[in-house]
Amino acid sequence: MEIARDRLYTFDEVKEILHVSKATLLKLLGSGELQGAKIAGQWRVSGADIMAYYERMKHRGGEADT
């Protein structure tokens, strides 16, 4: 899946992109490890933030796949 830097992704889309569970994604967002914002009570994450998180995981040897 190609990630558009200027697009806002829904919670479910981010789960799919990062291949993580709901609990893991909530933990990432809650801790600030992955930047996101609640808009009208629903999480949104920018493509730029997803890409930044992915790059950090790559350098740390994490398992983020896109």
User: Would you list the DSSP string of the chain?
Assistant: ----TT-EEEHHHHHHHHT--HHHHHHHHHHTSS--EEETTEEEEEHHHHHHHHHHHHHHT-----
* pLDDT number for residue 46: 98
pLDDT digits over 42-65, tens only? 999 999 999 999 999 888 875 554
Give the CA angle between residues 63, 1, 24 to the nearest 5°: 40
Q: Each residue of 12-49: pLDDT tens digit?
A: 999 999 999 999 999 999 999 999 999 999 999 999 99
Q: Using CA atoms, how far apart are residues 3 and 31, in angstroms rounded to an integer?
A: 23
Domains annotated for the chain, with CATH where assigned, are 8-60 (1.10.1660)
pTM of the model: 0.85
